[in-house]
Structure 1
Amino acid sequence: MQVTRTSPVVQLDGRAFRRSLNKTGRYVRKPMDDAESLALMEEHGVGYSSTGLVARMRANGNLWQEGVKLAKAYGYCWGVERAVQMAYEARKQYPNSKLHVTNEIIHNPAVNQRLKEMEVNIIEDVGKGKDFSGIKGEDVVILPAFGASWQEMKMLSDKGVQIVDTTCPWVAKVWSAVDNQARKQHTSIIHGKYSHEETIATASFATTYLIVRDIPETQYVVDYILNGGDREEFLAKFSNAMSEGFDPDRDLLRIGLANQTTMLRDETLTIGKMLEKTMMQKYGPAELKDHYMVLDTICDATQERQDAVTELVQKQSDPAERVDFMLVVGGFNSSNTSHLQEIPEMAGVPSFWVNSAACVDVEHNKITHKLAHGELVETQPWLRDGPITVGVTSGASTPDRAVEEVLDKLFRIKDPSFSGIAQLSMEAALTPPSRPEH
């Protein structure tokens, strides 16, 4: 069955555009593995811990004595570590240039503050759009781990700046997926949050797109595909989450799935099955491939962290394996951290999400923490008397030192005489973890 669009569509060749940046001579997209920059990250506490408590736990099967269990996969993913490293390397490589980053480099306040202290200007959208007027041709501009829209990239390239692109390769893989969908005139159904920087960037590489946040929104879409509905209601519901000129009666005939890499893996898989089943029901198995496209764009790091938390909280029936509560450390505006918090909440395991050690009041045994869906609450008293077992994880944008600082306060509540953990005696790890090839 042939489906023809009834309105002209502007087609962006995303891969050709990104290749054109490479040819400018003013575009860097790979780290240099500079030893001095890595050592400075260690000193600033924005890299992997090689001597602190987290390093000790890694060396001891992710355990500390009998009371703390670190998730098997936690904290900095290689894409985030790579982005921070490239920002540090850029500061060293261009010592006399003005450096800008087009948003927070990652969703971690301590890391972003360190960059500000290194005179890296963070251009944030405070509700009125980003102001790029202060960027000059001789400046260096860093693209964050979430990526940037192609419109921003083109504008910066036209200014003649040096671009340091720290976009996570997993995010770029999603861009390739929506580019493939656009080439075959499929609308990209993006599982994500329409205001998230990564989803904004991904959507810019799609010709036609619709962003769904969750399963209920997807159900609304599949019902419309199968049964039709109120077009104006549809357009109002997704007014902030669709491409310009989107027409549900025209643009849902051929669809493909993409995702914001930090969304819950199982939810993305469920949404994919819903869309596939819908298109099969509407067009039949023989024509399914003409109406539905899917590529594997689920980030391994996101999946591994979610699976590791699931493993910790699924052992509650075993007294030797159960945890009294989960401690989740990560930025309050971090999407992937919110999903790590969501897993124990859904499993009925108490969980406390903090963005830094400042959330823990040692003197009053009080913790200020966030729930997965946004509510900020206080719990007092936090820690009960007697032995406890704590499960620990952290978001993909959270350096090890942030976890260590939170645990330090937990230990001081349990033992007022606690004076710190002796550092592990080993050389600072100057070689970053191995990275997948993309």
Structure 2
Amino acid sequence: MQLLGHQQLVMGGAQRPPVVRRCARLCVQCTVAGVETEKIDGRTIRRSLNQTGRYTRQPSNNTESQQLMDTHGVGYSSSGLVAQMRENGNVWQQGEVTVKLAKAYGYCWGVERAVRMAYEARNSFPDRNMFITNEIIHNPEVNERLRELDINIVEETENKGKDYSNIQKGDVVIFPAFGATAQEMKYFRDKGVQMVDTTCPWVAKVWNSVDTYTKKNSTSVIHGKYSHEETVATASFASDYIIVKDLKEAQYLCDYIMFGGSKEEFMAKFKNAVSAGFDPETMLVKVGLANQTTMLKGETEQIGKMLEQTMMRKYGPDKLQEHFIVMDTICDATQERQDALYDITADPKAIDLMIVVGGFNSSNTSHLQEIAEHKGIPSYWVDSAARIDVAGNKVLHKLAYGELKETSGWLPAGPLTIGVTSGASTPDTRRWRR
């Protein structure tokens, strides 16, 4: 976390432009050099990784790695400004300025675990070529630090997808916190590389759910963003799936299940968000709900109720369990940060403005910004301290739905109360200046 000027409190780090990720279709059609694209049994692939002797999925809690994380400021803060605020009831004051830090903010357990494992991998294999199949998390400073450790992040390009051709037998490949697709796992298993799997256990829990739906011949309805790395990975473990991003798309899906409609219109609407060979006339008879772990809990729950009511109306209460399955796949950490923001903004008059900190390609951070905007509180989402021009009293910030905007005079004169929170991929950077 950084204190800028004498009033601004910001978590984050070095500025790096966000990576634009595109996928013409989801995982089974993703353009990845050398990776086969047919559907495979994801659970079997995951289980087979342990048998290779080249697979790690647990941190070792190496002391040297922890010390380097502390030096780089990519872990939890134990002595910096954030730690001081925690000891003072999450409040900091200077003159007429009061800063309130949300009770739950920043790094979640799964994200810290992923970063720790990447540092430990470099410590364990100091002389090997090392690659990550995507950004480890959505935070520019953390990813830059990994690059400084000579860990190569394989980024997807707009026209060519991912290129793994430089990865050879004996190299080290890290699967990020979002996970890797089943096809990528099989590819690297067969490639003979050392695999370090930092996938968040909550994400893996969602994979288990869609696998269960597949075994019950049910289509997975995934609440998420079809191009997000986590959803791409989750979909690869499903047989048949459709992805809905919000309540509007969920309502369209429910109406089609209940009343039918134009198949051509349906397929055009969800052309990037369904499994290969998807047929809405035959594949929506039995469905199970899953979600991208960073989506709004309330929205996922509402989509579940919509699907449940639709199936109950269509097939009757006594047949509901034959047509609809739901398993708890909502991430506690994501929900805790959302609940903490609702709490700190419960009285809009008590907060003059919000600062939301996190990578601009971070889904969970976007939802924190969304909550603040819906409350009608001036809210500024920044990915680093560099976004704030202290002398000019200007800030370059992002809105919840993607617009990058510069606001002048954003910081009014005191007395002033500022609320601060950060996304689950944002470390407690301990540098600060007045």
1:128-151 Cα offsets, whole Å, 9 max, x none, are 210000000010000000001000
Which one-letter code corresponds to 1:228 in the other structure?
G
Aligned to 2:163: 131
SS in 1 for 2:60: coil
Residue matched to 1:85: 116
Q: SS at the partner of 1:116? A: helix
DSSP-derived class of the 1:69 partner: strand
> What do the CA deviations read for 1:86-138 (whole angstroms, capped 9, x no partner)?
00000000011000000000001111111111000110101121000000001
Question: Any gaps of 5 or more consecutive residues in structure 2?
Answer: 1-37
Q: In the alignment, which of 136, 139, 142 is matched to residue 105 of structure 1?
A: 136
- Say yes or no: does 1:384 pair with 2:409: no
Q: How do 1:278-289 and structure 2 match up within 5 A?
A: 278-289=310-321
Match of 1:229 among 250, 258, 261: 261
What's the secondary structure of 1:251's corresponding residue? coil
Partner residue of 2:345 out of 310, 313, 318: 313
Point out the structure with the larger strand share: 2
Partner of residue 154, structure 1? 186
Contact 1:75 1:393 in 2 (8 A): yes
C-alpha displacement of 1:16: 2.8
Q: Kindly tell me: are residues 11 and 385 of structure 1, through their superposed partners in 2, closer, same or farther at Cα, counting changes over 3 Å?
A: closer
Cα displacement string for residues 381-438 of structure 1 (whole angstroms, at most 9, x for unaligned residues) = 121122110110001000111xx66xx5xxxxxxxxxx54xxxxxxxxxxxxxxxxxx
Aligned counterparts of 1:165 and 1:177: Cα–Cα separation in 2: 19
What residue in structure 1 maps to residue 380 of structure 2?
Answer: 352
Does the aligned pair in 2 maintain the 1:14–1:176 contact within 8 Å?
no
Tell me which amino acid in the other structure corresponds to 2:145.
R
Q: Output the CA distance in 2 between the equivalents of 1:335 and 1:96.
A: 34
Cα distance between partner residues in 1 of 2:374 and 2:348: 13
For residue 109 of structure 2, what is the amino acid of its counterpart? Answer: W
Structure 2: distance between partners of 1:329 and 1:272: 30
Are 2:36 and 1:36 equivalent residues in the alignment? no
SS of the residue 1:353 aligns to? strand
- The answer (yes or no) to whether the contact 2:42–2:236 under 8 Å persists in 1 is no
Distance 1:389 1:126 in 2: 42
**Aligned position for 1:245:** 277
When normalised by structure 2's length, the TM-score is 0.89
Structure 2 letter corresponding to 1:149: T
Q: Deviations over 1:130-179 (max 9, x none)?
A: 00000000100000000010000100111000000000000000000000
In structure 2, the residue matched to 1:426 is none
Corresponding position: 1:58 with 2:90: no
1:195 correspondence with 2:227: yes
Query: Residue 169 of structure 1 aligns with which residue?
Result: 201
SS at 1:391 equivalent: strand
Amino acid at match of 2:407: T
The one-letter code sitting in structure 2 at the alignment partner of 1:117 is E
Q: In the alignment, is the contact (CA less than 8 A) between 1:141 and 1:163 conserved in 2?
A: yes
Deviations 1:46-96 (A, max 9, x none): 111111110101111111136011000000000000000000000000011
Q: Aligned-pair distance for 1:276?
A: 0.6
Report the Cα distance in structure 1 between the residues aligned to 2:181 and 2:398, rounded to whole angstroms.
Answer: 30
SS at match of 1:257: strand
Identity percentage over the alignment?
65
Q: Contact conserved, 2:357 with 2:383, CA < 8 A, in 1?
A: yes
Q: What amino acid is the match of 2:225?
A: K
The C-alpha deviation readout for 1:8-52, integer Å capped at 9, x for no partner, is xx9854333211111110000000011110111011011111111
Greater RCO, 1 or 2 (C-alpha within 8 Å, sep 6+)? 2
Equivalents in 2 of 1:207, 1:87: separation in Å? 31
Q: Is the 8 A contact 1:210 1:241 kept in 2?
A: yes
1:177-204 CA-partner distances (Å, limit 9, x unpaired): 0000000000000000000000000000
3-state DSSP of counterpart to 1:23: helix
C-alpha distance in 2 between matches for 1:169 and 1:139? 24
CA distance in 2, matches of 1:199, 1:84: 20
2:294 matches 1:262: yes
Q: Give 1:305 shift.
A: 0.2
> Which of 323, 343, 346 lines up with 2:351 in the alignment?
323
Contact 2:352–2:417 at 8 Å: present in 1 too? Answer: yes
Pairwise CA RMSD of aligned residues? 1.2
Q: Is the 8 A contact 1:11 1:182 kept in 2?
A: no
Equivalents in 1 of 2:427, 2:39: separation in Å?
Answer: 40
Instruction: Describe the superposition over 1:343-397 as per-residue Cα deviations: whole angstroms up to 9, x where unpaired.
Output: 0101111101000000001111111110000111111112112211011000100
Contact 2:45 2:185 in 1 (8 A): no
Counterpart in the other structure of 2:15: none
- Whole-angstrom distance in 2 between the partners of 1:286 and 1:205: 30
Asked if 1 retains the 8 angstrom alpha-carbon contact of 2:46 and 2:185, the reply is: no
- When residues 94 and 287 of structure 1 are mapped into structure 2, their CA distance, relative to the original with a 3 A threshold, is same
Aligned residues: 393
**What is the DSSP-based 3-state SS (H/G/I as helix, E as strand, rest coil) of the residue aligned with 2:308?**
helix
C-alpha separation between the residues in 1 aligned to 2:207 and 2:315? Answer: 27
Q: 2: CA distance between counterparts of 1:383 and 1:233?
A: 47
Q: Supply the AA of the counterpart residue of 1:161.
A: V
Give the letter for the 2:150 counterpart.
E
CA–CA distance in structure 1, aligned partners of residues 132 and 395 of structure 2: 33
User: For residues 348 and 368 of structure 2, what CA distance do their matches in structure 1 show?
Assistant: 17
Task: Give the secondary structure class of the aligned counterpart of 2:128.
Answer: coil
Q: What does residue range 399-414 of structure 1 map to in structure 2 within 5 Å?
A: 399-401=427-429, 408=432
Counterpart residue identity of residue 98, structure 2: G
Q: Please give the alpha-carbon distance, in whole angstroms, between the structure 1 residues aligned to 2:127 and 2:334.
A: 37
Q: Which residue number in structure 1 is paired with residue 16 of structure 2? A: none
